[in-house]
Structure 1
Amino acid sequence: MVINCLSSARVVRILSRCTAGRTVLFSPERNTQLDVSADSRPASNPGPQDFRTFESNPVNHTTEHAARFYVVPPEVRLKVFQYGGLPKIFEKQLKTFGEPSIMVRNPALEVLHYLRTAAYSKPAVRYVLYGKDGCGKSVSLAHILNYGSVSGFLLVHVPWARNWMRYPKEVATSSSNKGCVDLPLDAATWLVHFKSQNVALLNALDLRVSKSYTWTKREETPVGAPLVDLIEFGINRVKYACDVVLALLQEIKLHSTEGRCKTLVVIDGFNAFFNPDIRMKTEDKVKVKPSMVTLAQGFLEITKNDWCNGAVVLSIDRQVGPADKKESELPFYNLGKQGFEHLDPFIPIRVVEYNEKEIESCLQYYIERRWLQHESGRTEAGRKELEFLSGRNPLRLMTLCSPL
């Protein structure tokens, strides 16, 4: 055959041209083809073993997994994040990548360590994530949510509090709380989200209401009814959804304190509940204060530390504060005096830009997922330029790489 007369190097060049950009080496000794395309070649610093971990259970995540990506199992993503929990731009990126991957980072690992070692017989501890825009607070909360789900916590999760206070779907006068307003559609949507995350655990624990709730002359949730029935009523009777949320949160606090369940409260953008710049008015055209929103009242109650057998993990964000107050990301500045006193004492956890190992892992992951296709992105000089231009900010780095 002609191929036998060719040198090994020549064989490589011929076969390389025939594979349309996909380099395939032919091994005459084994009569096999070895794929060494750009996606499968080991990259330098770090290699594939350095930016990925096959440990997909956050319960087992330690500092050994830091700066590595893990894939959220499909069943967990459907259960926990089906109705929110991931930033929209991050969800769009996950669809492009074809897999829901989250980087294991130190802020989340710190919270996971506290959750593992906490004394749950004591009042619930509040943990507050803060940091500059785009540094990964919401994604860290997603990692923590994943941990809570697989660890048997009852999840009380608000994906983005700003949407309620700034862009409500519907505003109605509260019939049960004089001078307050209800957000019935938002409350019903949240109940669907809560049910999706917890229905299996609720049925397994067989949690029931501790008292009777009368809604109308004909509609009542009797004492001893399953909590799932209370949730279903709020979903089907949207008018009473806010009152159902208030009742549900009270029942959860009671069940947790009495040791029937462990509860993990996670709220993204918590300082929205103290932002006076909200777009709501009563029927009398009076501007609504955050304390007048019944839905906010329920979550302010469950973020107090007057209950036990649970934990509260919150994030504060400059984006949910007043438009003229964005100079600082520190907790007191964004929460204000009232919000800070509401949470005090709490454990602050700062979420910062990528460190050197994290940005290298992220760039290597982008190359593997073909989010970063430009040949300069594979060079040391190209990576240094992206690092400089992005300032190691995760969101800015993702945006910079999108046209490359």
Structure 2
Amino acid sequence: MAIRMRYRMLSGFASTLNRLMSSTVVEPSVAVGHTSANSENSSRVFRTNESNPVNHGESHLGLFYTVPQDVKQLLFQHGGLPKSFEKQVKTFQETCIMVRSPALEIMEYMKAADYSGPAIRYVLFGKSGCGKSVSLSHILHFGLVSGFLLIHVPWVPNWFRRCKESSNSTTKDGYIDLPLDAAAWLIHFKNQNAPLLEKLNLTIGKEYVWSKREVTEKGAPLTELVNFGINRVKYASDIVVAVIKEIKELSTSKKCKTLVVIDGFNAFFSSKTRIKSDDKTLVLPSKITLTEAFLEITKFDWCNGGVVLTVDQLAACDERTGSDFPVYQLGKEGFEHLDPFVPIQIEEYNHKEINSCIDYYIDRRWLQSPNAGTEEGRKELAFLSSRNPYQLMKICGPL
């Protein structure tokens, strides 16, 4: 009996030793694979040192550029980057945007545009998660560097789905004001354009009477009107409309050059919102005061500026999931409002872009799997994500 027990113990020890030896043999091959992936990645170029979007060209396509921290603070302090991308920025401790063809195409058009004619409208469209909002951020940075006065709406549906407060308009029957959201937008506008507003010294062209004691005189600085809307939230919605109309006049008279950037523009033409009137019925977007302001600035009756918009399935409150094309997402009314416009489709990553993104994730340690940098690993990630930028980011997180 004792001999059998000793034999079993020796057999167990031998099998354990064999397992350890076999794992010791396998480990170096895994390490070698990891090293070869690293050496391969080190030879790949996925960044560019050119941080000025005005200088971006075809040689920068598929490469990441770093947005300076002061620019990021100026442009995106009050929104503009998708929430998932913003989390990634905080994790990586840097704001890197890939130079992609649709954004570069719009910037080239804007460089060559004739600004003496009506403002040209550009519409970015494509599947959800393909990078429309991030490309819009690239264009916004281009506008800042190029000296445009920026009129930027980070995400239109936020007003119609999660408004902070609503009230009946005191100036227009049947209209709804969003005073806190309007004041927040005025703060966003003021912060984004602070250096340019100080330099241009723009003044308003008419008198505005808000109450018996509150008047904004003709010839007052535009910033005075903006500050009044921030401090007197009750009038903020009407002041946004006034500011937009003043900027149209100032731009047309060539006192400033204006770039309008709106994400989720098709939300203005949805069949409903989540805002309720006094009789508990859902309010149409056309009956919200802020809608008037941004439909006004996207008309073609002004010049010395440009308009860049996105349409997105996620923006429509009525969930128009049938097609990504602008004619479907905007509907008849929205399409006729923008026509004519330049449609630009943004698609999934191409071969160079997805490899560049994988290299960037490996560099940032967002992607830590030893096999991720190999050709097989890259093909698998491309297949699982369908080359969709958002899906790729989600898949790489746990790896």
Q: Same fold (TM over 0.5)?
A: yes
Is residue 396 of structure 1 aligned with residue 355 of structure 2? no
Q: Which of 341, 346, 349 is residue 351 of structure 1 equivalent to?
A: 346
Is residue 54 of structure 1 aligned with residue 49 of structure 2? yes
Q: Provide Cα deviations, 1:224-261, integer angstroms capped at 9, x if missing partner.
A: 11111111000011000001100000000000000000
Residue matched to 2:100? 105
Residue matched to 1:231? 226
CA contact (8 A) 2:266 2:312 kept: yes
Gaps of 5+ in 2: 1-33
Tell me the TM-score normalized by structure 1. 0.88
Give me the whole-angstrom Cα distance separating, in 2, the residues matched to 1:158 and 1:179.
24
Residue matched to 1:85? 80
Residue matched to 2:259? 264
CA contact (8 A) 1:199 1:228 kept: no
The 5 A counterparts of 1:362-381 are 362-381=357-376
CA contact (8 A) 2:53 2:142 kept: yes
Q: Provide Cα deviations, 1:273-323, integer angstroms capped at 9, x if missing partner.
A: 000121112223333111110001100000000000000000000012244
Give me the whole-angstrom Cα distance separating, in 2, the residues matched to 1:369 and 1:82.
23
Deviant stretches of 4+, over 4 Å: 37-42
CA contact (8 A) 2:47 2:64 kept: yes
Residue matched to 1:331? 326
The aligned amino acid for 2:80 is G
Note closer, same or farther for the CA distance 1:87–1:172 as it changes in structure 2 (3 Å cut).
Answer: same
The aligned amino acid for 1:384 is K
Residue matched to 2:167? 172
CA contact (8 A) 2:206 2:218 kept: yes
Tell me the TM-score normalized by structure 2. 0.90
Give me the whole-angstrom Cα distance separating, in 2, the residues matched to 1:323 and 1:276.
6
Give me the whole-angstrom Cα distance separating, in 2, the residues matched to 1:133 and 1:277.
21
What's the CA shift for 1:324?
4.7
The aligned amino acid for 2:395 is L
The aligned amino acid for 1:340 is F
What's the CA shift for 1:168?
1.1
Note closer, same or farther for the CA distance 1:187–1:322 as it changes in structure 2 (3 Å cut).
Answer: closer
Is residue 312 of structure 1 aligned with residue 307 of structure 2? yes
CA contact (8 A) 2:272 2:282 kept: no
Note closer, same or farther for the CA distance 1:204–1:360 as it changes in structure 2 (3 Å cut).
Answer: same
Q: Provide Cα deviations, 1:62-117, integer angstroms capped at 9, x if missing partner.
A: 01100000000111111111111100100000111110000000000000001100
Which of 126-135 and 161-170 deviates more?
161-170
CA contact (8 A) 1:268 1:316 kept: yes
Is residue 206 of structure 1 aligned with residue 206 of structure 2? no
The aligned amino acid for 1:43 is E
Gaps of 5+ in 1: 1-36
Is residue 277 of structure 1 aligned with residue 272 of structure 2? yes
CA contact (8 A) 2:267 2:317 kept: no
Task: Answer with 1 or 2: which has the greater Rg.
Answer: 2
What's the CA shift for 1:167?
1.6
Is residue 221 of structure 1 aligned with residue 216 of structure 2? yes
Q: Provide Cα deviations, 1:348-375, integer angstroms capped at 9, x if missing partner.
A: 0000000000000000000000000011
Looking at secondary structure, tell me which structure has more helix per residue: 2
Residue matched to 1:12? none
Question: Equivalent residue of 1:56, what SS?
Answer: coil
Residue matched to 1:19? none
The aligned amino acid for 1:268 is D
Is residue 340 of structure 1 aligned with residue 346 of structure 2? no
Question: Equivalent residue of 2:105, what SS?
Answer: helix
Residue matched to 1:43? 40
Give me the whole-angstrom Cα distance separating, in 2, the residues matched to 1:329 and 1:237.
40
What's the CA shift for 1:200?
1.4
Give me the whole-angstrom Cα distance separating, in 2, the residues matched to 1:57 and 1:38.
34
Question: Equivalent residue of 1:127, what SS?
Answer: strand
Note closer, same or farther for the CA distance 1:322–1:228 as it changes in structure 2 (3 Å cut).
Answer: closer
Note closer, same or farther for the CA distance 1:283–1:378 as it changes in structure 2 (3 Å cut).
Answer: same
The aligned amino acid for 2:284 is K
What's the CA shift for 1:216?
1.1
Residue matched to 1:115? 110
User: What percent of counterpart residues are identical?
Assistant: 59
CA contact (8 A) 2:37 2:373 kept: no
